[in-house]
Amino acid sequence: MADKEQVIQALRATLISVKGALTIKQCNRDYRELQGEWIPFKKLGYSSLDKLFLDVPGFKVTQANGEWYVDAIASQETQHIAAMVSRQKSSKRAPKLSYPNRFPKKQGSWRKPSSGYGSNYNSQYSNQYYRAKSSTPFNNNTQHYKTNKYNSSKSNETKLTSNIKQTTKTANDHVDKILKSSNSSQSLRESNNTHNEELKQAVRSNNDMDVKLSTKVSASQRLSNLRDRLNTVDLIPLQLPAANNECLVGGSYSVSSYPDSSPSEDLAKEVGAVKLLSAIESSEAGGKPTSSSSNAIVYLTELVSEHEAGLWANTVPHLYREKYQENLPSNWQELVENCPKIIKDRVFNGQLVLLPNKEEVPIPPLETTIYDDSMDSDLPPLQFPDDDFWNVFVTVANSTLEIWLRIIGSQYSDTFETLLIDMAKYYEHGGSPVDKSMLIKNAWYAVNLDDGGWQRAKILEIEEDSATVFLGDHGDDDVVYIHKIKILEPQFRKLPAQAILCRLEGAEELAASTLGAELVRRRLPGEVLVAAPGPRHDPTDPSVAVVLYDTSTQRDLNLNKEIIHDFCIAGAFTITQKPCEVEVGCVTEEGRVWVSRAGGAALVQGALALLTAGPYRRPLPAAPQAPAPNSTTLYIVRTLAGDWVRCTIISGLDGEGTVRTQLVDSGLILRAPLSSLVPLQSFSPALNAFPPQAVSVRLGPAERAAGGMVPRLRELLLGARVLCRALPAAGGAGGAPAIPHVELFVRTGPQNILASVNNAILMEYDYLQHGKLKENDNNTTNHVEALHRKKERIFRSLSMAGEERPSSGSALPPPPLPAPGQCFDVYIAMAANPWNFVVQPNSTRHTLQTMMSSLQTECPKLTELDAPVNPVSGELYTVYYDKDASWYRVTIAGTVSSEMVSVYFCDYGDLALFATKALRPVPPGAPLARSLPPQAIKARLFDVWPLHQDWTVEDCIRFQELCVEQQFVGICKDVGKDPLNPNEPLLTLDLIDTSTDEDIYINKQLVTEGRARLTSTS
């Protein structure tokens, strides 16, 4: 979903389907529910989500109460959807629970903890001290009225009269008892007087109502009511034992524990003391500012240092307020804990004393005062069950290597849910907030999540007004505002973090691909499963290898194998008539093209890299003794670049112990020793079942030109983004051909226009064929051109003497060659392997350098007008080589097209392609360039043979390290002809390095290093 247009379309679909605007966080959450990932705003080049919505048109963004709200502006195509959503009836909001719903919805037979307590304190207290004479509850009248308020009016009227009269009698009795009792407390007398007046008013109102009601009933009815009143059983309330306390401080503060009754005098004193302390603090704190954390720690250190005997912690806020006219921040005790100049000591009865630390404490620099101490020890480690199988709930699944789950059981999930309930009740109206300056990285805090309530979390990163936290009981990261973070109290630190990091055993390699991660995220989160933990061989590895089972069906499903099976099915590569992006892994010498799904080869390569290196490395099985009889058996082999790739054996074992292999994910053919192959089935069953990614294709009508346009095909296709579609199958009775015919497209030019590779090579092939015929005709019929060249050759000296015009020279004189057995001091300019390198005679190196200096001076004077019109093979010219910004002598090696030629650097041995207009004749100011023989002489090393049929890449690199740009004494063993160009000589030399005290023969050096063998001894 990293493509911007796809992300914008998904966002519009998410917002249009909702009535009204959403906050950016809600939009991000809904996007993840629908698309399986968070909004990738960073991949699109935005630093935040709000900048994405503000920049992209089609969204309406507003800000209210510090929150960004976003809504999609309906287009013509989506207007009908928006209208339909706007007419939908809004659903009633469900009552919000007091704890987050992070527990599995389906728990099978496991009991979910109770979400509340049985009864409150008041009801228990009342039932303990009141006893009725009959079975009728004390508040039965009110309940009876509420229950029957929808009955007939007549019965309501009768029962209401009876209830009022009964209430009147009870109230009068209660007043009499209160008036007869005596209490020395003035507050109780005032309470009784007030209560007496209220009850008299109630009696008066009831009597009036009784009079009014009695006028509406008959005499028999009134007689019946009087009889009911005579039979009424009085409820006699027992005296509730209660104690009150009144506290007085000076003449300013006086509080009483009333009306909060306490069963004992000590408890009443404690209630009064708490109220008094709260009254003092509230009166003194009013109107005074609160100190910042940085100022508070400085002032606290100064305040404590003035009292050598120490200060009681409960007196510190008052003394601080009196001295500095500021209030302490709410987390001042947390500041004291982290201050090295203050000692916090606990004495009798749990009281705290703050003492000055007189020892010299080194003050760290300012930049090192950021708290980064680990506090993992605050949460004890989780003890795993001893069972072979765990009942688990998967909370997060990011890949096969990162799966977080919680264990279900009374000691785990039940205890955890009780903890969440207690945290929700505690932090709803309490808890200590944390200032940003006092946040400690890797420490545990309580955080309030928008969709999860209060959770325990570890601080990972701290930003301006938010922090990135890790939810230790859930396993994922989240971003919360700092004002939603509070101190995690000790009672909430006793339970270990419940989230367990796991990996799917046998499926670790799937984590190297996005395909495997998508399958895991789609299949596992939110599921209640059974986990079989494996042994933990590495104590430093925090993850647990598990096999997950789904036992909700009749057949137990091994989810590890199910995910691998889905991974292999999703990895199948087929070519259809719908264009798809592919990679071209190989173009053979015959013009056969191998294509693979885009990213398919890299997926397999990354999975093999994960299994062959790093913490999840697996031991490599033994190599096969002989090629498998089944040609489809898969192996892995290591390339020269160090990458492991999948391959099959396509040839038998040769005399050197090697076999030809074909890479199934790219189509390349490599020769490798049989001992270096590793059977894939025993190493990774998942990758062994993963389908091959490379498919051989043909180019339809352009197939006839493919064999002759191999370099052009490689130039267009290798390393490029290619689109591929299958061509319609030719009509016939047979089925689809074994090798599909396709059309390939690439993007060209600055506008990225799609161009057909099939049409391009076919037209270019036909054009080149027509151009060759035309060139042959021109060579045979253009007599004027031939006459011009003839005149130029005959009258060259006269022309040069008269006009001083530069022109191309004739063939250079041949280089002087040594006789067999003669010493020949050489300088090696270039080397491919011991059988192919280029030497320069040491005797003329000074002359070569002089000629090169003159070319750098004279050639820039020539212009493009001096370029030859029709250069001929073998002619001498000069050319500017931009890679080292130098001019060189070259001879024409061949003609590629009318505008392109192949040139040979006759002094250095390289070949290159140049445009015809880049050629320049040899300037007249550099006469050495016309007379000096070619300095590049091809050679091969004497008496060496590769260990196998050809030189390996390592052998070639080692030979280049030994010889290139070095001087040697060469003994000429033979003077032959170059097999590729019989017109050029080929020297067979025995190279000797005489720069050391002991002469070193290069051929023997290669034999000593185990890279070659001597032909004379074999």
In this structure, what token pair is assigned to residue 1005? 């050096």
pLDDT band at 772 (very low <50, low <70, confident <90, very high): low
Rounded to whole angstroms, how far apart are CA atoms 897 and 914? 11
- Mean pLDDT, range 181-204, rounded to an integer: 43
CB 79 within 8 A of CB 87: no
Residue 786 is predicted with a pLDDT of 57
Portion of the chain with pLDDT greater than 70, in percent: 73
Residues 6+ apart with CB under 8 A from 157: 213, 216
Q: With H, G, I as helix, E, B as strand and everything else as coil, classify residue 311.
A: strand
Residue for token digits 């190297």? 512
Identify which of 830, 834, 823, 832 has the alpha carbon closest to the alpha carbon of residue 1014.
834
pLDDT band at 37 (very low <50, low <70, confident <90, very high): confident
Per CATH, 376-566 and 600-686 having the same topology is answered yes
Q: Which residue ranges make up each domain of the chain?
A: 4-86, 162-180+196-216, 376-566, 580-598+693-781, 600-686, 796-1012
pLDDT band at 86 (very low <50, low <70, confident <90, very high): low
Lowest mean pLDDT among 66-80, 482-496, 716-730, 923-937: 66-80
In this structure, what token pair is assigned to residue 90? 């809004």
Rounded to whole angstroms, how far apart are CA atoms 893 and 903? 5
Q: What is the pLDDT of residues 155-165, one digit of tens each?
A: 333 333 344 33
Residue 146 is predicted with a pLDDT of 34
CATH number for the domain running over 376-566: 2.30.30.140
* Strand runs labelled E in 140-281: 246-249, 253-256
Q: What is the pLDDT of residues 406-460, one digit of tens each?
A: 999 999 999 999 999 999 999 988 888 888 888 888 899 999 998 889 999 999 9
What amino acid occupies position 996? T
Rounded to whole angstroms, how far apart are CA atoms 548 and 463? 38
The 10 Å Cβ neighbour count of residue 98 is 14
Identify which of 104-113, 220-229, 732-741, 914-923 has the greatest average pLDDT. Answer: 914-923
Which class is domain 600-686? mainly beta
Q: What is the pLDDT of residues 651-710, one digit of tens each?
A: 888 777 888 899 999 999 988 888 899 999 999 999 999 999 999 999 988 888 888 888
CB 830 within 8 A of CB 909: yes
The 10 Å Cβ neighbour count of residue 28 is 16
Rounded to whole angstroms, how far apart are CA atoms 40 and 37? 8
Rounded to whole angstroms, how far apart are CA atoms 681 and 687? 8
Report field, pTM of the whole predicted structure over 0.85 = no
CATH number for the domain running over 580-598+693-781: 2.40.50.90
Helix or strand holding residue 658 (H, E): strand 658-663
Q: With H, G, I as helix, E, B as strand and everything else as coil, classify residue 168.
A: helix
From the number of C-beta atoms within 10 Å of its C-beta (0-12, 13-18, 19+), residue 512 rates as: buried
Rounded to whole angstroms, how far apart are CA atoms 670 and 178? 108
Q: What is the pLDDT of residues 510-563, one digit of tens each?
A: 999 899 999 999 999 999 999 999 987 777 778 999 999 999 888 889 999 999
Rounded to whole angstroms, how far apart are CA atoms 392 and 395? 9
Residue 794 is predicted with a pLDDT of 52
Helix or strand holding residue 463 (H, E): none
Q: With H, G, I as helix, E, B as strand and everything else as coil, classify residue 257.
A: coil
pLDDT band at 986 (very low <50, low <70, confident <90, very high): very high
Lowest mean pLDDT among 63-77, 643-657, 726-740: 726-740
Identify which of 974, 911, 940 has the alpha carbon closest to the alpha carbon of residue 831.
940
Q: With H, G, I as helix, E, B as strand and everything else as coil, classify residue 868.
A: coil
Rounded to whole angstroms, how far apart are CA atoms 436 and 458? 15
pLDDT band at 624 (very low <50, low <70, confident <90, very high): confident
The DSSP secondary structure of 12-56, one letter per residue, reads HHHHHTSSS-EEHHHHHHHHHHHHSS---TTTTT-SSHHHHHHHS
Identify which of 284, 366, 358 has the alpha carbon closest to the alpha carbon of residue 328.
284
Torsion, CA 110, CA 115, CA 121, CA 127, rounded to 10: -60
Torsion, CA 176, CA 178, CA 181, CA 183, rounded to 10: -150
Q: With H, G, I as helix, E, B as strand and everything else as coil, classify residue 1014.
A: strand
The 10 Å Cβ neighbour count of residue 397 is 24
Residue 804 is predicted with a pLDDT of 41
Q: Which fold has domain 796-1012?
A: OB fold (Dihydrolipoamide Acetyltransferase, E2P) (2.40.50)
**Across the chain, what does the average pLDDT equal?**
77
Identify which of 96-105, 437-446, 496-505 has the greatest average pLDDT. Answer: 496-505
CATH 3.30.420.610 is held by the domain 4-86: yes
